[in-house]
Structure 1
Amino acid sequence: MSEILIIGYGNTLRSDDGAGQRVAELVAEWNLQNVRSLPVHQLTPELAEPISQAELVIFVDAYPATSEQGLQVHQLCTPPSSHSSPSPSSPHTLLQRESQGLNIGHTVDPRSLLALSQFLYNNAPAAWWILVPAVNFEFGESFSPKTTENIQYSLAQIRQIIVK
């Protein structure tokens, strides 16, 4: 069982859109014993199972950015303490509510996958969503300078998150 799961997603044939997958590949090169890295084209419901088995999951994707925008890091979910029940407005409870009306199509977002994990496996691990700024979504396999720089920033953020 992996304690930490990195899921990097995006289309590697659409230039900057492949940044999430590249980050996941680079994290895999770290060869950390307690870290599993999954580069995937898109988020699908099948990922709920490995998510449910993790203690921490970090999603990485590209987003269309302006020249002023930078790396975005969002905490999505913190699991409730084993000694207390979640408050009505805690992220854990919100995930339970979301899972009751879950609409899983061909693709999903990280919050829906966490809700599905909670619904099916009774576990939604602590989660982060790192969004790498992207400016070029044309056909191609290379990254713009902005995205290249922010891939490195995202790796630094992941290191900070996993050493906590």
Structure 2
Amino acid sequence: MLLIGYGNPGRGDDGLGPAFSENLEGRGIKGLDIDTDYQLVAEHALAIADHNLVIFADAEMGSETGFSFRAARASAPQTLGSHSLHPEAVLGLAEILYGARPEAYLLGITGYEFGAVKEGLSDRAQKNLKDAETFFLNWLATERQERKSRHA
């Protein structure tokens, strides 16, 4: 399983994705590979191709809830270059280049203060981060149990 947390910690709440992945990395969860980056790029397709389950964690704007969790599907990239890609485009590249079709989810953590050059998360974003971590750890335990049952 691969978790990719991405965003810019130098832009306030845009750092929610990296904060999420770094917090989970500190837990040393067996079988969970973790990547933290500023943005998704074409090179992430190779890492994705080596996993059967991928979670993308990023900051989210304008949500009514503290976080969202939804399935992601591969789509053809609209443009390629050194600039950031959406998770669906990276999944599409993994499929096109490597024949990989991992199960994938997007974890969007709601932030409120973006844009200004500022280190650190807002108080409300920090609460959402904790809630998202609690959700994810529970989801992960359930997911692992279900996968174990399917393979028994």
2:30 is matched with: 33
Tell me, yes or no, if the aligned pair for 2:12 and 2:119 is still in contact at 8 Å: yes
Matched, 1:154 2:132: yes
Give 1:145 shift.
1.4
The partner residue of 1:6 within 3, 22, 28 is 3
SS in 1 for 2:85: coil
Q: Deviations over 1:18-70 (max 9, x none)?
A: 0100100011111122111111000000000010101211001112226x443
SS in 2 for 1:44: coil
The alignment's TM-score, normalised by the length of structure 2, stands at 0.85
Aligned length: 140
- Aligned residues: CA RMSD: 1.6
Segments of 5+ residues of structure 1 without an aligned counterpart are 78-94
1:81 is matched with: none
Segments of 5+ residues of structure 2 without an aligned counterpart are 144-152
Tell me, yes or no, if the aligned pair for 1:102 and 1:116 is still in contact at 8 Å: no
Give 1:102 shift.
4.9
Tell me, yes or no, if the aligned pair for 2:66 and 2:132 is still in contact at 8 Å: no
Aligned residues: percent identity? 27
| Counterparts of residues 9-158 of structure 1 (less than 5 Å) | 9-65=6-62, 68-77=64-73, 95=74, 98-99=75-76, 102-105=78-81, 106-137=83-114, 138-158=116-136
Distance 1:161 1:123, change over 3 A: farther
